[in-house]
Structure 1
Amino acid sequence: MAITAANQLELLQTAEAVAREKMIDPDLVIQAMEESLARAAKSRYGAEMDIRVSIDRKTGKATFTRVRTVVADEELENYQAELTVEQAKQYMENPQVGDEIVDEVPPVDLGRIAAQSAKQVILQKVREAERDRQYEEFKDRVGTILNGVVKREEYGNIIVDIGRGEAILRRNEKIGRESYRPNDRIRAYVKDVRRETRGPQVFLSRTDPQFMAELFKMEVPEIYDGIIEIKAVARDPGSRAKIGVISHDSSIDPVGACVGMRGSRVQAVVGELQGEKIDIIPWNEDQATFLVNALQPAEVSKVVIDEEAQKIEVVVPDEQLSLAIGRRGQNVRLASQLTGLDIDILTEAEESARRQAEFAERTKLFVDALDLDEFFAQLLVAEGFTSLEEVAYVDMDELLSIEGVDESTAEELQARARDVIEEQNRKALEAARELGVEDSLIAFEGLTPQMVEALAQDGIKTLEDFATCADWELAGGWTTVDGQRVKDDGLLEKFDVSLEEAQTLIMTARIQLGWVDPSELEADEAEGDELEGAEENEEEAEA
C-alpha cells in the first residue's frame, strides 16, 4: 500500500469521516495517521532511526523525514539518530548541540502487516481522543441527572447511551430488582466521572440519596429557587426514604410545598423511584426536635443526647417500640442516617429499670462507704448526689436544704466522705508506687491518685510517658470502622475526663518537660483566632 497521489486526498477524507463519526477534532485523527505511518517506516528503515511523517492538511501529501540530533561527543549513543558537532559540519555551518538535521526519505510501501499495525494505532488514538472528549464534556455534570437510552446489559451492569458517549449503571446502583431492555429510556444520577484506561468513564446511580434530592429539585420550583433547602437525605433504595427540608421563607410550608397539590409533586418522585415511600420531615437546628420528627410516625417520650459520643437515647412508650424501630430496623436506621447520630431506642419500662438499677447502685455506694442506713442513702441519691466527692466538697447549704439534715449531720457526712476519699487516695498511691510510678507523675497537678494508679496499670509510669499520650487515649473516643462507629475506651474515661481536659493535661506536661515553648503555643493560638475571625468576617460579608 504505497501512498501515491491517487490516495493522498483519500487520507484527508478518511480523517474527516472518522472525526465526524466520533465527534472529535479531525487534526487528532491526522496526528494518529502520522504516528502510525512513522511507526511503519521505522520497521522498514530501522527502529533506531528517528523517522517522522507530516501530512499536509490541504493536499493530503505525506512527507517522510529522518531527523538526527546534534549531541556532545561523550553523549553520542545512537549513531542512527544522533551525530557529533564535527560530523554535523558537513551538513550545516556552525552546528550547535541540540540542532536537528532533517533529511527527506522515500515514502515506504506498507505491506499487509504494516498496514494492519497502522490501522491499530489509528484506532487506539481515536479511542483515546474519544474518551478525553467524553471526560471533558461530562466532568462538570457530576451531581446532576442525565436522561439516556439503554443500549445493552453486561453482567448485570447497564450500558446507557447518553448522546455523545456511553455511561454505566452498575448493578449495585440499581433500585431493587428493576430490569431494563434495550431502547428503554432511563433517568439516573451522575455519581462520578473519571478517566479510565478502557470502558465507560461516566458512572451512574439510581440508589444514591442525592438522586432523590435532585428529583425533588426538578419537581419543586421552591427548592430550585433556593427558597426551600434540602438539609439531609436518607434512603433504603426501592423501599423507604426520609428527607429533611427547611424553608427560608416563613410564609411557605416546606413539607406542603414538597408534597404538592394532592401529593402530585411527591408522587412524581415516588413513581421514578419504583414506589419508594418518602417521609418528608421539617428540619430543625435542635437535634432532639429533629430526631423526634425523623422517627415519625412513632411517638417519642424523651430524648437524651451524648454530644461527645455522638450518640442519642430515645425513650418511647412500650406499644410504640416496634413502630419506632420499623420493619427490620428500617425506621431507626434511616433516622440515624438523617441525623448523623447513633440512636439507641428504649421503652419506658426499660428506661425505668435502668434508672432503678442506677439508683440502687448509688444507694449501695453511700450505705457501704459512709455507713448510712438505706433510707438516708436513698434520700441523698434522690437529691441528685452521685459520688463521694460531691458529698465531701459540696457547699454546706446544699446538704442543709435536704429535709431532716441539720448542721451537725451535714458536717458529719462531709467528714466521713473526706475520710473515705483520703483512704482511697492512700491505697491508690501505695498501689501506684508498687507498680513503679515516679514522683514526677504523682506530683503532676490535675491527676488524682486513682488516675495515677489507672495510668500505671497501663504502663504509664513517668511524666515523659504521660506526655507522649494522645488525648483520645486518655478520654476515649469513637472511630468509624467499615461504616460502623466503634468505641475507644480511655484510660481516664471512668473519671469523667473530657477530650479538652485531656488535651490540656498533656500539653501542660509537655511544657513542664520543655518539649513545647509556651510563647510559640500562644502565638499559634493567636494566629488561629485571627484566622477564625477572618472567616467569620467573610461569612458576614457574604451574608
Structure 2
Amino acid sequence: MKDVSAVHARPELLQVAEAVARDKNISQEEVLEAMEQAIQKAGRSKYGHEHDIRATIDRKSGEISLARHIEVVEDVENEITQLTLDAAKKKKPDVEVGDFLVDPLPPIDFGRIAAQTAKQVIVQKVREAERARHYQEYKDRIGEVVNGLVKRVEFGNVIIDLGRAEGLMRRDETIPREHFNNGDRVRAYIVDVREEARGPQIFLSRTHPQFMAKLFAQEVPEIYDGIIEIKSVARDAGSRAKIAVQSHDSSIDPVGPCIGMRGSRVQAIVGELQGEKIDIIQWSPDAATFIVNALAPAEVAKVVLDEETNRIEVVVPDEQLSLAIGRRGQNVRLASQLSGWDIDILTEAEESERRQEEFLTRSKMLIEALDVDDVIAHLLVTEGFSSVEEVAFIPVEDLSEIEGFDEDVASELRERARAFLETRDEELTRKRKELDVADDLAEVEGVTPALLVVLGENGVKTRDDLADLAGDELMEIV
C-alpha cells in the first residue's frame, strides 16, 4: 500500500496542465513534466541539492509523489546518492547493482520563495516547449508566403505576429520606402527558420525574388495549376523586376494570363510590391532568343555567345544603348540575373570599330607569320581564321575551298604555318631550358611551350612549384 505521507493529492493540477497546454498549443505531458521539475527543484531546496530527489505527478489522479533515490553501486563515489550492494540488501534483499532504493518523502509545504521558484521553472519549461513547437511547425514551411500583423518596429526591423509565432523581417528585407505601423497587415516570404539561443527565429522577406513568384502563383490560376511555369525571377526591389515564364500548353500564351484582363492580375502584384514595375518575358530554351527577350524594351541587332565563359555580347543600335543598359545599369543587370549569362552591350558603331581593329590585328599577325601579302591574309581572316594554329591543322581540301585558293596555295600556306609553329616552339623550348624549367612540368596536360616560359619567368620551375600556387596566383601569372 502506498505511503500516504509521501503523497499529496492535487487533482486540480491536471486541470491546470490541460488549460495551459490548450492555451499554449503544446502537449499536456510537457506541462506536467515542467511541473514535476518545479516540484523537484523545490524539494531539493528543502532537503538539500546534493540529494537525488524526484517528483512524479500521477497522470490520472494528480497525486504528487516526492521521493529520494539512492543508487546501488559496487564502489561508492558519492555517499549521499549512492550505497553499496551489501548495505542496500539490508534494506531490500532482492536489490541489484544499478537499481535505485526509493525513500518516500513527506509532501513539502510551498513557501513564498519556493512557489516563486516553481513558477519560474514551469514558465521557462512551457516557453521552451512552445519554442520547440514553433520550430517544428515552421521549419518545413520555408518558401511559403505567410500573412501577419505588424507587432512592433525596432530600428527598421519589423516584428510580425504570425498567429502562433513571431517572424522577423530585417530592414534590408523590406521594400525601399515601405513604412509599417503597428497593426498593419503584411504578406511576406519565409526565407529561413533557424534555432538560436533565444529560440527559433523565423526570417521573413518582401524583397526575395521568390516572393514575387509566389504572388504570381496566387494571382494566376494557370501558374498554380502548372500550365504556366515561372522559370526565373530577377528583382530590383521597389523599382523594377523581370519574370520569365514558359507555357506547357502550346495553345496558351504564357505572358497574357500573367497580365490578366486589362492588366488586372499584374496590377494586383504591383500594388502589393509598392508600385514595382514588372516586365513579363517569354522564356526560351535558346539562350540568344531568351536574352533578346530579357533586354526588352530595347531592340537588339545582333548577339554573339561564348558558351565556354557563359558570356554574351549584345549589339544594339546607337540610339537604343541607353534603353538597353537602363537607369544605373538596371535593365542589363536584371536581364543578366534572369538569364544567368554575363552580358556585354555594344553599339553598332563600337562593334564595327572593334571588328575592324581585330581584322587588322589578325591580318598583321598572319602576314608576319606566313610571309604572305595582305590580300591572302585578309581572305583568311574573312573566312574566320584567327590564329596560325588554325591554318596549320586544317585539312588542305577545306583550305582550298576558299575563293582564289587552289590545292597548291593551300598546301603551301599550311606548310608555312607549321614551319612557323615549329620554329616558335624550338625558340620557346630553348628559353624554357635557359630558365631551368623541369621537363616533367612540360608533360602536364594543357601546358603549352609559351606558358612554360611564362611560368619559368615567374619562378615556377617544377611540378611542386605549380602545386604550391593558389588558384588566384596562377590566374595572375597566366
**Residue 78 of structure 1: aligned partner:** 78
Query: Are 1:15 and 2:11 counterparts?
Result: no
Question: Does the Cα contact within 8 Å between 1:11 and 1:60 map onto a contact in 2?
Answer: yes
Alignment of 1:26-41 (within 5 A): 26-41=28-43
Letter paired with 1:50 = D
**Residue 308 of structure 1: aligned partner:** 308
Higher mean displacement: 137-146 or 279-288: 137-146
Q: Deviations over 1:300-323 (max 9, x none)?
A: 111122222122211111111110
Q: Distance between the aligned counterparts of 2:274 and 2:334, measured in 1? A: 18
Higher mean displacement: 195-204 or 256-265: 195-204
Query: Are 1:289 and 2:275 counterparts?
Result: no
- What's the offset of the Cα at 1:407? 5.4
C-alpha spacing 1:469/1:252, structure 2 compared with 1 (3 Å): farther
Alignment of 1:110-259 (within 5 A): 110-198=110-198, 201-259=201-259
Q: Which runs of 5+ in 2 are unaligned?
A: none
Q: Distance between the aligned counterparts of 1:80 and 1:326, measured in 2? A: 79
Query: When the two structures are superposed, what TM-score results if normalisation uses the length of structure 1?
Result: 0.80
Letter paired with 1:298 = A
Question: Does the Cα contact within 8 Å between 1:228 and 1:246 map onto a contact in 2?
Answer: yes
Q: Distance between the aligned counterparts of 2:321 and 2:105, measured in 1? A: 87
**Residue 261 of structure 2: aligned partner:** 261
Q: Deviations over 1:75-129 (max 9, x none)?
A: x211111111111111212322111111111223333333322221111101111
**Residue 61 of structure 1: aligned partner:** 63
**Residue 93 of structure 1: aligned partner:** 93
Question: Does the Cα contact within 8 Å between 1:232 and 1:338 map onto a contact in 2?
Answer: yes
The 3-state SS of whatever aligns with 1:152 is: strand
Q: Distance between the aligned counterparts of 1:441 and 1:141, measured in 2? A: 54
The 3-state SS of whatever aligns with 1:182 is: coil
Letter paired with 2:179 = S
- What's the offset of the Cα at 1:279? 0.7
- What's the offset of the Cα at 1:172? 1.5
Give the paired residue count.
474
Letter paired with 2:17 = A
C-alpha spacing 1:359/1:416, structure 2 compared with 1 (3 Å): same
Higher relative contact order (CA 8 A, sep 6+): 2
Letter paired with 2:100 = E
Q: Distance between the aligned counterparts of 2:131 and 2:30, measured in 1? A: 13
Query: Are 1:382 and 2:382 counterparts?
Result: yes
- What's the offset of the Cα at 1:444? 7.2
C-alpha spacing 1:395/1:55, structure 2 compared with 1 (3 Å): closer
Q: Distance between the aligned counterparts of 1:362 and 1:259, measured in 2? A: 50
Q: Distance between the aligned counterparts of 1:208 and 1:447, measured in 2? A: 44
Letter paired with 1:112 = R
C-alpha spacing 1:50/1:325, structure 2 compared with 1 (3 Å): same
Q: Deviations over 1:405-437 (max 9, x none)?
A: 455554544443333222211111111112223
The 3-state SS of whatever aligns with 1:322 is: helix
**Residue 339 of structure 1: aligned partner:** 339
Q: Distance between the aligned counterparts of 1:446 and 1:11, measured in 2? A: 78
Q: Distance between the aligned counterparts of 1:269 and 1:444, measured in 2? A: 57
C-alpha spacing 1:271/1:358, structure 2 compared with 1 (3 Å): same
Higher mean displacement: 335-344 or 141-150: 141-150
The 3-state SS of whatever aligns with 2:90 is: coil
C-alpha spacing 1:184/1:404, structure 2 compared with 1 (3 Å): closer
Alignment of 1:427-442 (within 5 A): 427-442=427-442
**Residue 44 of structure 2: aligned partner:** 42
Q: Which runs of 5+ in 1 are unaligned?
A: 474-485, 493-543
- What's the offset of the Cα at 1:381? 2.0
Identity between Structure 1 and Structure 2 (%):
59
Letter paired with 1:70 = V
Q: Distance between the aligned counterparts of 2:148 and 2:406, measured in 1? A: 83
**Residue 513 of structure 1: aligned partner:** none
Q: Distance between the aligned counterparts of 1:423 and 1:400, measured in 2? A: 25
C-alpha spacing 1:358/1:23, structure 2 compared with 1 (3 Å): same
Question: Does the Cα contact within 8 Å between 1:166 and 1:200 map onto a contact in 2?
Answer: no
Question: Does the Cα contact within 8 Å between 1:281 and 1:293 map onto a contact in 2?
Answer: yes
Q: Distance between the aligned counterparts of 1:400 and 1:30, measured in 2? A: 93
Q: Distance between the aligned counterparts of 2:83 and 2:438, measured in 1? A: 76
- What's the offset of the Cα at 1:346? 1.2
Q: Distance between the aligned counterparts of 2:42 and 2:61, measured in 1? A: 21
Alignment of 1:399-418 (within 5 A): 399-405=399-405, 409-418=409-418
Query: Are 1:489 and 2:466 counterparts?
Result: no
Higher mean displacement: 218-227 or 88-97: 88-97
Q: Distance between the aligned counterparts of 2:473 and 2:297, measured in 1? A: 30
C-alpha spacing 1:215/1:424, structure 2 compared with 1 (3 Å): same
Q: CA RMSD in A?
A: 2.8
Q: Distance between the aligned counterparts of 1:299 and 1:181, measured in 2? A: 44
The 3-state SS of whatever aligns with 2:230 is: strand
Q: Distance between the aligned counterparts of 2:306 and 2:19, measured in 1? A: 67
- What's the offset of the Cα at 1:43? 2.1
C-alpha spacing 1:317/1:488, structure 2 compared with 1 (3 Å): farther
Q: Deviations over 1:183-220 (max 9, x none)?
A: 22111112222323325632221111111111111111
C-alpha spacing 1:417/1:240, structure 2 compared with 1 (3 Å): same
- What's the offset of the Cα at 1:457? 4.0
Question: Does the Cα contact within 8 Å between 1:325 and 1:331 map onto a contact in 2?
Answer: yes
Question: Does the Cα contact within 8 Å between 2:26 and 2:130 map onto a contact in 1?
Answer: yes
The 3-state SS of whatever aligns with 2:167 is: strand
Question: Does the Cα contact within 8 Å between 2:135 and 2:200 map onto a contact in 1?
Answer: no
The 3-state SS of whatever aligns with 2:93 is: coil
Q: Deviations over 1:128-175 (max 9, x none)?
A: 111112222222322121111222222222222222222222222111
Letter paired with 1:142 = I
Q: Distance between the aligned counterparts of 2:138 and 2:450, measured in 1? A: 62
